[in-house]
Structure 1
Amino acid sequence: MSLPRSDYDPRRVCVNPFPFLNISLGKHRRSVGVYLAGGLFGLAIWTFLDAAILSAHAHPPYNEPDYPVPVHVGFVDWLPGIHSLLGIIVINLIDKDRVRGDEGYGDSRAVWRARLFLFVGFALMAGGLAGSVALLVLKYILAGYQEQYLYYGYANVAQNVELMLSAVILWIAQSGSGEYEYNLAI
């Protein structure tokens, strides 16, 4: 064991602790995390809607009016974002205490099912991210479109990354202790 015995905790998963998780925001840590996750979620939706609106209003160059616009955002472009949104919904429906296996749930199968449900949620989000990257490469980059049309694919990937970060930040913020902790001592 590389850690000194005084620092060893048998419940620990990682050998090295994450220093960025030790940021102390005081009693408002949970609220800051929820607002940050909500802001990332809104930014993700706006990023893709910006690309979809640009695509809907794309027009041919003024000096070549007969030249058609080569690509638009279609239903296939919406699918990765829909998968990521379903993943966020699945992840946020899970009771965090059940995943941790805290006392009071007694049934070990309930903990296993909650963890499986959590895996399915993250798998949906990972599938959405992988789908957006595949869409970027296959539909936009390999077709050799101009940079203004590549933005549609980049916006799709950015949306899915922002949705994943939003879900992770929200999970961490809600897994911590609440703002209202009471320490009663006599």
Structure 2
Amino acid sequence: MESSNRLFRFPKPAWLNSPNTRTAGFSLGFFFFLDAAVFSKSILNGSDVHINFVDWIPLICSALGMLVINSIEKSRLSADSFSYSGDGVAWKAKTVLFLGFALLAGGLAGSVCVLVLKYLVQDLETGTMWMGVANVLGNGLVMLSSVVLWVSQNMEDDYTYNLQL
């Protein structure tokens, strides 16, 4: 039976609720970055460019953003209706959610900056360039998995999802 108050026409995909799917982006993101970090210190890396702490900062920001975003429940976002009465849970939850998304966006933007400033400007060879591309790819996958995980955990049972932020 179709519900008339649904936002989207199609129901949520079944693969979205799979625990393997929800963690795939996160684990693949860290795998790509750790692969680049190991390659950086291996003998196959023929350049003097290595992954150091500056390369790790964007991934740390993305991981912290993922933790912050997934610690917020969707029900907390509409706990009070913009009134000054009550305990003000909704605006606090929205502020923390914004900070989590800002950490994710900052991690992705930071990895793009590291790619451009450290790897593209110096015109390095393709093998060394992979370290910067893996950083961007890892942060993008952590961001994508964070959004998929938050949406799938906070979907209601009857496939309705109200976009009330």
TM-score, normalised to structure 1, is 0.73
Shift of residue 31, structure 1, vs aligned partner: 2.9
Give aligned pairs, total.
Answer: 152
Gap runs ≥5 in structure 1: 1-6, 62-68, 180-186
Tell me the equivalent position of 1:123. 102
Deviation digits for residues 135-182 of structure 1 (CA, Å, limit 9, x no counterpart): 000000001111110000000000010000001000110111259xxx
Tell me the equivalent position of 1:48. 33
Quickly say closer, same or farther: Cα 1:158–1:18, change in 2 above 3 A.
Answer: farther
* From 99, 121, 124, the counterpart of 2:77: 99
Give the Cα–Cα distance (whole angstroms) in 1 for the partners of residues 8 and 128 of structure 2.
40
Mapped contact 1:29–1:173 kept (Cα < 8 A): no
CA RMSD of aligned residues (A): 2.6
Computing the radius of gyration over CA atoms, which structure comes out larger, 1 or 2? 1
* From 119, 139, 144, the counterpart of 1:160: 139
**Identity within the alignment, %:** 40
**After TM superposition, what 4+ stretches of structure 1 lie above 6 angstroms from structure 2?**
none
TM-score, normalised to structure 2, is 0.81
Tell me the equivalent position of 1:142. 121
* From 72, 77, 90, the counterpart of 2:50: 72
Give the Cα–Cα distance (whole angstroms) in 1 for the partners of residues 34 and 71 of structure 2.
26
Give the Cα–Cα distance (whole angstroms) in 1 for the partners of residues 88 and 45 of structure 2.
59
Gap runs ≥5 in structure 2: 159-165
